[in-house]
Amino acid sequence: MDFLRKKFEVSPEYARVAPFVIFVVLTALQGEGGSRFWVYIAKTIVGAWLVWKMRPFVEEMRWALSWEAIVVGVGVFAIWVGLDGHYPRFSDPGEGANPFKHFGAGSGLAWFYIVVHILGMTIVVPPLEEVFYRSFLYRYFVKMDFRAMPLGKFHALSFFVTSIIFGCIHPDRWLPGILCGLAYQGLVIWKNRLGDAITAHAITNFLLGLWIVWKQDWSFW
């Protein structure tokens, strides 16, 4: 994989876009059948490897803990769950990926999948998405030399366009997706760093994972 490392090293754009695109392609390959569970596990492993490989070349991808990140993370979780069913959807989420239905009630494989899924959505997804949307895309819409634009600089059009795009990639939950994008981007601008948004995103996803398992509401997956 020297080719990937070399591309990351010479191209700031490639280092921030390619890992996200690879992850999205793997997500599209999950499908709706039983293979979705195994593809998700494979996708999580690949995603973790990509985060590890891109980390030396994406200087802003550093986790940061703050009270603001905690508040935003919990607040976005509340919005994501609280708005569910109270707005029109662009697509039907369906019944979701119920591991107990596929592997059997109380199955060890089902619990293994649940643990991997929660770890993936908590540790792997936040840095990949925050680097792409909040660091790269938000700034690239303003300057092609995106690194010349400070993370804390507010640009109204890019602020809303980036958040709308983020929401629209969640057609079944586009409204909380847009609000989520606004909240995370606002946090980046407020703190002038990406780490708080990564942490907030991780908190949101972790709480959502616990909610899904507790309520058995697999449609969120």
CA angle 209, 212, 215 (to 5 degrees): 145
User: What are the backbone angles phi and psi of residue 134, rounded to the nearest 5°?
Assistant: -80, -30
Q: Tell me the whole-structure pTM to 2 decimals.
A: 0.95
Q: Which residues contact 51 (CB under 8 A, 6 or more apart)?
A: 19, 61, 124, 127, 128
* Tens place of pLDDT per residue across the chain (221 aa): 677 888 999 999 999 999 999 999 999 998 777 789 999 999 999 999 999 999 999 999 999 999 999 999 999 999 999 999 899 998 887 788 899 999 999 899 999 999 999 999 999 999 999 999 999 999 999 999 999 999 999 999 999 999 999 999 999 999 999 999 999 999 999 999 999 999 999 999 999 999 999 999 999 98
